[in-house]
Amino acid sequence: MAHIASSAKISQRHRQRLQEKFPEVRFSFYEGIHEVLEQAADADGLITYGEDLTGERLRRLPRLRWIHVISAGVEQLPFSELEQAGILVTNSRGIHEVPMGEYTVAVMLDWVRKLSVFRDRQRERRWDPSIRVGELAGKTAAILGAGAIGQGIAKRLQAFDMKVWGVNTTGKPLPQFDQVGTLADLKPILEEADFVVVTLPHTPQTEGLLGEEAFGWMKPTSFLINIARGPVVVERALLRALNQRQIGGAVLDVFDQEPLQEDHPFWEMDNLLITPHISGRSPLYMTRALEIFERNLPVYLSGNGAYINRLDLSRGY
């Protein structure tokens, strides 16, 4: 009998559903990886958020053959050890399309329609029709990372009559985008974009991608949205670009260090909105993540079929 352990906190409702749907599987649900190591060392499958595994912990799970990560981000996984051990890894890429797409549209509308400014005026009991607002229609958005999340964002922005650029590794056209390029095309793409949305994974190739040079290519009115991973953007360079009004503004949902330090200068910026890594939050998060697991589990049990979102461990995503 397959034994699947979970180091991720899963509600009783979801536990019951899995047990009823797969009675041939032994499930063990825990509050964290330490309980898994102590009580389920014989597990051959693991459900995890992906941030709790190390090479040493993998060695304490000698029967492990499959890991399903119930998030899209996998940069904290010990890839070399996983590849060496021959462990299959899948993730929940794609489940964030709706919440992160809506988040992106929300902050863009807030920026052009100045809703946060009007909220400040309301607190001051000040009637101020002089504030200039804008539109999304006719503007250009560059989405760096044209995967499932990027495509979901593009689909929503098309509804606002925006021109949408995408960036991926191949430059292969995609129906959600007006044009698609590669990182080699980054300079002309940033020069044209009114909005730059970052959804790229954090890899050695993307770390520090948006730094001083990239901000120099952007328009002084352009708006940056980072919902990917903090290290893709060089924070010191962004701070300088915002202070010097080299770009118009930014929204950051991710940072080099989280939580963001209380004394970080980002907190004081008047052209920056900070959110605490919540762009992918949704009341349907776990339901969507486990739907992918449930579709992959029969493949694992039978050895037949193709896995959804199987990672290439040699590439890190």
User: Which residues are known catalytic residues?
Assistant: 229, 258, 277
Please say whether the beta carbons of 199 and 73 come within 8 A: no
d(CA 147, CA 68): 19
d(CA 194, CA 247): 10
Q: What spatial distance separates the first Cα and last Cα of the chain, rounded to whole Å?
A: 30
Residue 111, helix vs strand vs coil: helix
Q: Which two tokens stand for residue 1?
A: 């009998």
d(CA 129, CA 45): 59
Buried/exposed 58-93: b ≥16 CB within 10 Å, e otherwise = beebeebebbbbbbbbbbebbbebbeebebbbbbbb
Residue 69, CA atoms < 13 Å, CB-side half-sphere: 24
Task: Classify residue 271 by burial, with Cβ atoms within 10 Å: 0-12, 13-18, 19+.
Answer: middle
